[in-house]
Amino acid sequence: MKNLKNLTKIIISLLILIGSIFIIKIASFESLRNWVNEFGNSAPIVYILLYTILPIFFFPVPIFVLVAGILFGIWNGFIYTMIGCTLNSTIMFYLGRFLGQDFFEKLISKIQPNLKNRLLHSEQKSLFYLFFILRLVPLVSYNLINYVAGFTKISYLNYIITTILGIIPGMLVFLNTGDKSLNTNSSEFIVSIFLLIALVLVSTVFAKIYINRGNDDFDNNSNI
């Protein structure tokens, strides 16, 4: 039974790896936008399905959100993206939990060791705040967070709450940028770019301060 489970893990891991290589080679902003747009009235359903599946193979999520802003506008795009994100995050979370710590620990081996320790050993409250902060930062891989969360102790409920709340600021900014990109000469588009830059800078600095402070607290508690 154990051998069968290990074999299943290997097969799933290989499928994710091969699928990621394939998706990254053929998928792009233009191809995603054109393909979804071809489905007309069914485009929202196709968009949600693609958002549910493609990030499993490390397709860049910001591209999805920009496409949603262009095709559906800010508020419809927000609804469709939130549905797709919730479905996708759920699948990837449980994939990470099934595949286990050993498989994905290598993916965060370059992260500072204290952060790795916090991911593996912190309690629910600390993990809730940590993943919420990570979700706020557009530069942190959405895909990787989904998988990494699966092998921590965070509960699914806490994780999905941090995901839904944490992605809202970035989602709205990216949707707005996509929506305004239909007229790149407009002042609204220029403002959207400044908002995007501000989001990246502010969230990154805030996350770095929080993580560094948390690392110090974690070290102090570990030494007690």
pLDDT digits (tens, 9 = 90+) for 111-139: 555 556 666 666 888 889 889 988 988 88
Of 81-85, 105-109, 193-197, 219-223, which range is least confident? 219-223
- Higher-confidence residue of 25 and 86: namely 86
| Domain contains 184 | yes
Which positions ≥6 away from 50 have C-beta within 8 Å? 32, 36, 64, 84
Residue 136 pLDDT: 87
pLDDT 10s digits, 35-72: 999 999 999 999 999 999 999 999 999 999 999 999 99
186: phi > 0 → left, psi -120 to 50 → alpha, else beta; which?
Answer: beta
Q: Is residue 71 part of a domain?
A: yes
The answer to whether residue 169 scores a pLDDT higher than 60 is yes
Which whole-number Å values give the CA distances from 120 to 36, 99, 151, in the listed order?
39, 15, 7
Which residue is listed with tokens 């069914």?
42
pLDDT in tens, 6-32: 788 888 888 998 988 888 888 788 889
Q: Provide the domain limits for residue 101.
A: 38-214
Task: State pTM to two decimals.
Answer: 0.84
Helix, strand, coil share of the chain (percent; to 5): 85, 0, 15
How many structural domains compose the chain? Answer: 1
Query: Is 58:24 a contact under the CB 8 Å cutoff?
Result: yes
Residue 3 lies in a domain: no
Sign of CA dihedral 129, 101, 48, 193: positive
Let me know if residue 64 belongs to a domain.
yes
